[in-house]
Structure 1
Amino acid sequence: MAASTWQRSSYCAQGEACIHVAAHHNTINVIESGDPTGATLHTTPAAWAALIRTVKDTAHHD
């Protein structure tokens, strides 16, 4: 099985806990950098896209 390529959130400041996201076999995996050996959230690309759309839409309403 090929290793996932993790991408750090672009909203992460240096030294702070961030989320890291990787796509692997039609699954989106999410971890928190403050505890990289902790739980991994697994979701579908459609659910991830819906979450990102909602976050972006909400950010524009502040």
Structure 2
Amino acid sequence: MPELTWQKSTYSAEAANCVEIAATPTTIHIRDSKTPAGPHLTLRPTVWVYFLSHAPDASR
């Protein structure tokens, strides 16, 4: 597996308590920024898109 490039939401600023994602062409990886060496979830991109379509919009 190639090295993952983790990103925080722009809403998180420098906060240490947020979710980070790393995307590859075939998987989306999700982890807790407080425990970067801990376990993470791995989803198919279609599942991630489904999740995002049902998540509340934080900008409202």
Compute the TM-score of the two structures, normalised by the length of structure 1: 0.75
Which residue does 1:46 correspond to in 2? Answer: 46
What count of residue pairs does the alignment treat as equivalent? 59
Structure 2 Cα separation of the partners of residues 25 and 15 of structure 1: 28
Runs of 4+ in 1 over 4 A off after TM superposition: none
Q: 1:30 maps to which residue?
A: 30
| TM-score, normalised relative to structure 2 | 0.77
Superposed displacement of residue 3, structure 1: 1.3
**Identity rate, percent:** 31
Partner of 1:11: 11
The whole-number CA distance in structure 1 between the counterparts of 2:3 and 2:16 is: 25
The Cα shift of 1:25 comes to: 4.6
What is the alpha-carbon distance in structure 2 between the residues aligned to residue 2 and residue 19 of structure 1? 21
- Counterpart of 1:11 in 2: which secondary structure? helix
Relative distance call for 1:4 and 1:16 in structure 2 (3 A) is closer
